[in-house]
Amino acid sequence: MKLPDPQAFANAWMSQFSDPNQWQSWFNMTPEVQSHPVAAILRDAGAVIKPDAIEQLKNDYFQQFGALWQEFLAGKAPAVSDRRFSSPAWQSNPVTAFNAASYLLNSKFLTAMAEAIEAAPQQQQKIRFAVQQVVDAMSPANFLATNPEAQQKLVETKGESLTKGLANMLADMGKGHISLSDESAFEVGRNLGNTPGQVVYENHLFQLIQYTPTTAKVHERPLLLVPPCINKFYILDLQPENSLVRYAVEQGNTVFLVSWRNPDQSMANTTWDDYVDTGVVNAVHLVQEITGQDKLNILGFCVGGTLVGTSLAVMAARGEHPAASVTLLTTFLDFSDTGVLSVFVDEQQVQLREQTLKSGGLMPGRDLATTFSSLRPNDLVWNYVQSNYLKGNEPVPFDLLYWNSDSTNLPGPMFCWYLRNTYLENNLKVPGKLTVAGEKVDLSTIDAPAFIYASREDHIVPWHSAYGSMDILNPKKPKANRFILGASGHIAGVINPAAKKKRNYWTNDAALKAKGKRPDAEAWFEGATEHPGSWWPEWAKFLAEHGGKDVDPPAQPGNAKYRVIEPAPGRYVKAKAS
């Protein structure tokens, strides 16, 4: 489904729906509104709304719009609770307050119309998503002509804010993305990704980093971290105060990390099998060889977790069981419910990608970044359009948002395999359905205890789906598994430093250890206990339980065969997507 141009939609909105008479045309679906973008979305999708639902929406709308109109005629500024319009510049003028209030009312009923349609679930999800995109895009806060805050600053600065805003926009056009942070404030290896360590191995796909111990004793079994290859690893190693890598080292772990290369044309034919066998399986063998330990704790984050699951199943098929424990952070193994991301994946869209990329090529990082930004457009797009361009502000330094803009490419064959076999067909969870690296994949053969973490407000990996991994992993001893639900979203929920004592998390170990069938996700949550602060200490305790005895830390990184190549964070993570 092609989304309408936001500017065109906004213009149509302002011209067609400025008074209730035009909205009567909308609800009657007269010819003058047939070309409207939202009408086109509903029509192209074959959407059907029952006449009684339309009638109810119409009656509710006119009742509420009539009250709003009467307030306006009486000179009263309507109350507006949306944070986009919280400034006194919106509230102090009845005209701008009415503009904001009428936009919110119109948005409410467009959304209600999308909810009222009768369509297949996935088609309905696409319609809701598309309507929400255009509803967010046509906010009066997004345009200079209808944003009183921007107009006020324009007057106060005698036009300087507009000049700066245009300069910011031109600079971002040159960079190919909206600036979410002051990018000059950060540098990977200087104040990001600077936990001390050494690169001890590299191939065309990844570098292996071994971090420097900081404790007098370390757990016997090492810890291998596998971040997602869809973005840079230093999300796990931002600044010292919010680095999961540094925290893991401080808890007495000998930590290794896979730093994926940012693919260029030399990797245009790289496959999912390569990421599994030449990537994760190879990294496991390297850690075993360097440390002399057969067993290790393994963590996978997001797509990295899917790679870890696939790799351990491949190793199990070969008679290898290297995991003392498995940690999966916001990870899909069962793709039955992929949430809002499902709007981007159907047979037609996957076939289109396969036609262009399956035989070789790159999925550009900027396209992936745009996709993820569209999931939260008000936070990651329009907020910065208003601040940077309309008001001429400079973005403030924010390490997480700097990382968010530091995109990575993906090899086309790998990306196409991933789309079809996980999001589209959900083949990975079916024992023996897939052959990867020459082996039949059966996730149930992974017999290590699992620590599954999910974020309650995750829009990329819905927490119910992450909870589904509990029914897949470690089936011989399922009660050894743990599930932790954290607050916030896909990234902020994971990066929740213990020292800051922010947010909260939920546990319900009793339900998981009780006799009988494991409770479903909602039943688990109903009996869960809420705890203040970070979930990190729970994870550290789990690692210690499976870390073996305490021993002296290694005297040097690597070994006689695998010598130091360069200091962490290495070259690969610094490469920019072209």
Spatial contact of 498 and 536, defined as CB atoms under 8 Å apart: yes
Low-confidence spans in the chain with pLDDT less than 50: 1-36
Closest CA to 283 of 406, 399, 200: 200
Continuous H helices in 176-259: 244-250
340, with CB counted inside 10 A (0-12, 13-18, 19+), is middle
The pLDDT of residue 39 = 54
CA distance linking residue 493 with residue 491, whole number of Å = 5
pLDDT for 48? 66
Q: Which of 77, 137, 302, 350 is catalytic?
A: 302
How much of the chain is in helix, strand and coil states, percent to nearest 5? 50, 15, 35
Read off the pTM. Answer: 0.89
Domain residue spans in the chain? 6-142, 197-363+396-574
Phi and psi, residue 318, nearest 5°: -95, 5
Residue pair 135/104 in contact by the 8 Å Cβ criterion: no
Active site residue 229: no
Please spell the DSSP secondary structure of 273-312, one letter per residue.
HHIIIIIIIHHHHHHHHHH--S-EEEEEETHHHHHHHHHH
Distance from C-alpha of 480 to C-alpha of 193, rounded to nearest angstrom: 33
Tokens of 228: 């997602």
Q: Which one, of 312, 296, 305, 323, lies nearest residue 452 by Cα? A: 305
Per-residue model confidence (pLDDT) at position 17: 38
The pairing of strands 362-363 and 410-411 is antiparallel
- CA–CA distance from 569 to each of 199, 265, 327 (Å)? 7, 23, 22
How does DSSP assign 482-534, residue by residue? EEEEESS-TTTTT---GGGT-SEEEE-HHHHHSSSSPP-HHHHHHTPEEEES-
Residue 64 burial by Cβ neighbours in a 10 Å radius (0-12, 13-18, 19+): middle
Token pair listed for 485: 């639900």
Read off the pLDDT of residues 409-419 as tens digits, 9 standing for 90 and up: 999 999 999 99
CATH of domain 197-363+396-574: 3.40.50.1820
Structure-block tokens of residue 145: 């002509």
Question: Beta partners for 210?
Answer: 198, 256
- Identify the pLDDT of residue 54: 77
Query: Residue 226 in contact with residue 283, Cβ under 8 Å?
Result: yes
Q: Provide the total of helices (H) and of strands (E) in the chain, helices listed first.
A: 23, 17
Per-residue model confidence (pLDDT) at position 469: 96
Could you tell me which residues come within 8 angstroms of residue 463 by beta carbon, excluding any fewer than 6 positions away? 454, 455, 456, 485, 521
Tokens of 57: 């929406």
Q: What is the largest CA-CA distance in the chain?
A: 84
* C-alpha gyration radius of the chain: 26
**DSSP letters along 50-80, please?**
-HHHHHHHHHHHHHHHHHHHHHHHTTPPPP-
